[in-house]
Structure 1
Amino acid sequence: MPESLEQQQTHSRLRAVNDALTSGMYVHVRQMLHSLPAFDVALLLESSTPSARPVLWQLIDPDQHGDILEELSEDIKDSIIQEMDPEHVAAAIEGMDSDDLAYVLGSLPESVYQQVLSSMSEQDKHRVEQALSYDEESAGAMMNTDVITLRPDVSVDVVLRYLRLRGELPERTDMLYVVDGQDKLLGEVSLGDLIICQPDTMIREIQESEVAPLKAEQHDSEVAQHFERYELISAPVVDANDRLLGRITVDDVVDIIREDAEHSMMSMAGLEDEEDTFAPAAKSTQRRSIWLGLNVGAALLAASVSNMFEDILSQLATIAILMTIVPSMGGVAGNQTLTLVIRGIALGHVGDSNARWLLGKEALVGVFNGLIWATILASVVTVWKGDWHIGVVIAVAMFVNMLMAALAGVLVPLTLKKFKIDPALAGSMMVTTFTDIIGLFTFLGTATLMLS
């Protein structure tokens, strides 16, 4: 795959920074880093080796530290914060939005977190504790509390004068929220409507009352679906009593979509979303060994099925040659269905109301695929080996395994979801193990009955 222009620029900058570091041109490196936006500096840090990161961090302007910490992946962000003095961390996150505070401090060890907290002002302490009071993957943790609220009984002229006196609006402000004396959300007014309305128009006359706010406890995947459904730039967040707590903006939702995509991709391989590409070998080995151990167990389970039919395998070399075809086809078919169902769950398309219909549909797909490929393979093997008995064996095994693969592709992710286990993390291994066992058992069992 060819590199994008951004990737080429990143690699070019990284080479220039590394060359300058090697040559001891630290002032030049400092100037280069200072000229880059926070996202690009974070990308450079993530693309550098662990030994180079502390040097680069020392050369970065401290005024940029907070913005860069927001952009770093969790592994690297935590490793950098743990090497900083608590006072420096407190200074870096001063004035940070509440959702970014939750991200920067949320995954720190308790001892480090308490040290940082003790170095902060009372106002910032309160903001941090409020931000961390919500579940990490909830709307409450994502929201920013910096919102502009209005009362319904004031005029447009009063609001505009207030905004001019305020001088600066929160970033990505497209809506102002109308609340009552108890901060209960009554509606919203767009900046566009404020500009074109007559100055003496009352806010209650132009407010949009049909607002679909997010609840603070809603999962971030639901937040992303909400933004997609209503094509929003921002959305209000309320508590159980409909009191306005804050708002979520589209840039946060883009982060969630990207993180979900990374999570699905990494989970398929048993890796953590935020794993550092350049992490030390020992650390990477430890993390990956757990998943590899589970796969060894699954492989041994499948091998034990082959061991049950050792006699037929020792008698017929042809069976040993063909025995991998059926599990392989079942694994591919099962993972096709699994991927489709996981995607449906993520998008909110699949639930209790339509799961039975989906199971029936995928079973029918399994029957059709089973008939097609059983016929094709039986014909090929019969002609190849000159024995129709072997053709029947592989046809029966193929049909059964394609049907069971389709059923497993639906039932495994739905079952995992009921037990609050991420289907993307364990689904692929479970489906592959299931199809291997069923495929081998059916193929070798049928062969034992017909050929021994």
Structure 2
Amino acid sequence: MIQKNTEQMSDLISFLEKEQSIQVVIVIKQHHPAELGRLVEALPNKYRRTFWDLVPINDKGEVLLAVHRDLRLSLIKLTDEDTLLRCLSNLQMDELADIDADLPLNVVSAMVEAMDSQRKERYHTVKDFPDNTAGGLMDVDATAVRKDVSLKAVYRYLCKLRKKEGMLPEQLDHLVVIDRENRVQGTLHLSDLVSWDNSLSVSDVMKHDVPFIDSLQSASQVAQIFEDQDLTSAPVVDENKKLLGRITVDDVIDVLKKNAEEKLLAQAGLKNELDMFAPISHISFNRAIWLGTNLITAFLAAWVIGLFEASIQQIVALAVLMPVVASMGGITGSQTLTVVTRGIARDLVSRANIFALTFHELKVSFINGSLWAAVVFLISYLWFGDLKLGGVFALALFVVSLVGTLSGAIIPYLLKRMGIDPAIAGGVILTTITDAVGFLIFLGSATLILI
């Protein structure tokens, strides 16, 4: 599959270089709009406008949804207002609300003005919620029925809806059952609708254990609920349990994809660098900040080493073994940092269990630290023939393993409490601590014991 995608991209770039528009159009027709979004992201800047101009209007709206924000803004600038209005007309209300902040104000105004009263109400309902909440994710076109109607009436209703809209809502596995005040009472699964006697009423076969999604719950919490309860869709309600809309599994997949992408980039300090072909100045500035931060922390570790320059000159073996101490401390800390950061992301870590989790990780580190301290003691003795050097090396590795574990547990928790993403800053702080403490313990104890 990877080889096939690579060949397709090579062919596409070749067609664009040779200005073979017909071949480019053939390639475009073979791909879903979301796949077209990935193609335009992979294209160098000089080919993007030509490719974008050849994308059909009916697909442009979904392509804008699929690409990251920086690229979306640049594509919008390349598109005239009439084309924007036409390509956005087929999007759902929640999708429009997701990108309206990136559109020119006059386009948004014209788009809203062209809506009927019902669509305007639905659009403003979604727009009032932040993008990273259930309300911002939901589709307001939830299909609801009353519990006092017959299954036969529900079936006729769905037939009329299909005829009117051309299709039923996506991911429709159940209908939401509401009362006269629009409060959610339960759900009617389509499998029950088609398998029970149609003379029965909705109340006879509806399910009452409805997994409510509060409109103000975060997108990450929504994703966790879908994962825990294996949902395909779920109703979104306000504080009075009144139906506002529904969230489907494809919305959740988008959330998971976005979170995974941001965390991957954050590990290298590239959280805001989504466009591979972004302007050089923009990329350089973002990376310069991260590199500068790492340079400062590196100088801190170097300063600690400099305090023991005389000791290193007298015992060359110290310089040989120093990287091992720093590496083991960093790896041990990173393992705990990853566990705790993942727990925080899944809302599993809190004040109630952080100390228990830290102590648990320290016990694991104590066992592993003891094991590998014994191993390095033996190795260093066989290598350099010095029992004291082996003891100092083993002690330093054992202590730095505990320090790394303690730091890996506490740092992400404190950063989260301070409103800082642990995935961005946690690794830098951890590396600084383990390097500085590791060198200090190793070189300091060597100076006291060996010299």
Same fold (TM over 0.5): yes
Alpha-carbon distance between aligned partners in 1 of 2:306 and 2:97, rounded to the nearest angstrom: 53
Q: Map of 1:252-291 to 2, 5 A cutoff?
A: 252-272=251-271, 275-291=274-290
Q: Find the counterpart in structure 1 of residue 53 from structure 2.
A: 58
Aligned match of 2:76 in 78, 81, 95? 81
SS at match of 2:46: coil
1:294 aligns with 2:293: yes
Q: Which moved more, 1:410-419 or 1:231-240?
A: 410-419
Q: Is the 8 A contact 1:150 1:177 kept in 2?
A: yes
1:128 Cα deviation (Å)? 4.5
Q: Find the counterpart in structure 1 of residue 161 from structure 2.
A: 166
Alpha-carbon distance between aligned partners in 2 of 1:421 and 1:318, rounded to the nearest angstrom: 40
Aligned match of 2:36 in 38, 41, 50? 41
Would the alpha carbon gap of residues 125 and 273 (structure 1) be closer, same or farther in structure 2, given more than 3 Å must change? farther
Q: Map of 1:228-243 to 2, 5 A cutoff?
A: 228-243=227-242
Q: Map of 1:372-383 to 2, 5 A cutoff?
A: 372-383=371-382
Q: Find the counterpart in structure 1 of residue 185 from structure 2.
A: 186
The one-letter amino acid paired with 1:414 is Y
1:84 Cα deviation (Å)? 2.2
Alpha-carbon distance between aligned partners in 2 of 1:323 and 1:10, rounded to the nearest angstrom: 45
- Per-residue CA shift, 1:38-94, capped at 9, x if unaligned? 122222211111110011011111121112212223332222113323343232221
Q: Find the counterpart in structure 2 of residue 448 from structure 1.
A: 447
Would the alpha carbon gap of residues 27 and 125 (structure 1) be closer, same or farther in structure 2, given more than 3 Å must change? farther
Q: Is the 8 A contact 2:28 2:36 kept in 1?
A: yes
The one-letter amino acid paired with 1:199 is N
Q: Map of 1:97-108 to 2, 5 A cutoff?
A: 97-106=92-101, 108=102
Q: Find the counterpart in structure 1 of residue 106 from structure 2.
A: 115
1:30 aligns with 2:29: no
Superposition CA RMSD, Å: 1.9
Q: Is the 8 A contact 2:138 2:247 kept in 1?
A: yes
Q: Find the counterpart in structure 1 of residue 219 from structure 2.
A: 220
Q: Find the counterpart in structure 2 of residue 10 from structure 1.
A: 5
TM-score of the two chains, using structure 1 as the length reference: 0.93
1:139 aligns with 2:153: no
Alpha-carbon distance between aligned partners in 2 of 1:274 and 1:156, rounded to the nearest angstrom: 52
SS at match of 1:333: helix
Q: Is the 8 A contact 1:378 1:394 kept in 2?
A: yes
Alpha-carbon distance between aligned partners in 2 of 1:11 and 1:321, rounded to the nearest angstrom: 44
Alpha-carbon distance between aligned partners in 1 of 2:354 and 2:333, rounded to the nearest angstrom: 17
- Per-residue CA shift, 1:309-343, capped at 9, x if unaligned? 23323333222222222111100111011112222
Q: Find the counterpart in structure 2 of residue 405 from structure 1.
A: 404
Alpha-carbon distance between aligned partners in 1 of 2:317 and 2:393, rounded to the nearest angstrom: 11
Q: Find the counterpart in structure 2 of residue 200 from structure 1.
A: 199
Would the alpha carbon gap of residues 126 and 86 (structure 1) be closer, same or farther in structure 2, given more than 3 Å must change? farther
SS at match of 1:382: helix
1:397 Cα deviation (Å)? 1.1
- Per-residue CA shift, 1:351-397, capped at 9, x if unaligned? 33322221111111121122112222122212322222212221221
Q: Is the 8 A contact 2:267 2:424 kept in 1?
A: yes
Alpha-carbon distance between aligned partners in 1 of 2:197 and 2:434, rounded to the nearest angstrom: 69
Q: Is the 8 A contact 1:10 1:44 kept in 2?
A: no
1:262 Cα deviation (Å)? 1.8
TM-score of the two chains, using structure 2 as the length reference: 0.93
Alpha-carbon distance between aligned partners in 1 of 2:124 and 2:107, rounded to the nearest angstrom: 12
- Per-residue CA shift, 1:223-273, capped at 9, x if unaligned? 111111111110111111111111111111122222222222211111126
Would the alpha carbon gap of residues 257 and 336 (structure 1) be closer, same or farther in structure 2, given more than 3 Å must change? same
SS at match of 2:210: coil
SS at match of 2:45: coil
Alpha-carbon distance between aligned partners in 2 of 1:103 and 1:136, rounded to the nearest angstrom: 7
Q: Find the counterpart in structure 1 of residue 330 from structure 2.
A: 331
The one-letter amino acid paired with 1:163 is L
Alignment gaps of 5+ in structure 1:
none
Alpha-carbon distance between aligned partners in 1 of 2:338 and 2:93, rounded to the nearest angstrom: 35
Q: Is the 8 A contact 1:262 1:273 kept in 2?
A: no
1:346 aligns with 2:341: no
The one-letter amino acid paired with 1:241 is N
1:16 Cα deviation (Å)? 2.3
1:438 Cα deviation (Å)? 0.8
How many residues are paired up? 443
Q: Find the counterpart in structure 1 of residue 151 from structure 2.
A: 156
1:187 Cα deviation (Å)? 0.9
Q: Which moved more, 1:402-411 or 1:132-141?
A: 132-141
Q: Is the 8 A contact 2:58 2:90 kept in 1?
A: no
Q: Which moved more, 1:262-271 or 1:73-82?
A: 73-82
Alignment gaps of 5+ in structure 2:
none
- Per-residue CA shift, 1:1-60, capped at 9, x if unaligned? xxxx1x333222222222222222223322432343212222221111111001101111
Q: Is the 8 A contact 1:147 1:247 kept in 2?
A: yes
Alpha-carbon distance between aligned partners in 1 of 2:398 and 2:112, rounded to the nearest angstrom: 68
- Per-residue CA shift, 1:169-189, capped at 9, x if unaligned? 111111111112221111111
Alpha-carbon distance between aligned partners in 1 of 2:23 and 2:10, rounded to the nearest angstrom: 13
The one-letter amino acid paired with 1:443 is F
Q: Is the 8 A contact 2:188 2:205 kept in 1?
A: yes
The one-letter amino acid paired with 2:81 is P
% identical aligned pairs: 35
The one-letter amino acid paired with 1:410 is A
Q: Which moved more, 1:154-163 or 1:49-58?
A: 154-163
Alpha-carbon distance between aligned partners in 2 of 1:126 and 1:211, rounded to the nearest angstrom: 26
Alpha-carbon distance between aligned partners in 1 of 2:253 and 2:234, rounded to the nearest angstrom: 14
1:125 Cα deviation (Å)? 5.9
Alpha-carbon distance between aligned partners in 2 of 1:61 and 1:142, rounded to the nearest angstrom: 26
1:274 Cα deviation (Å)? 6.2
Q: Which moved more, 1:316-325 or 1:179-188?
A: 316-325
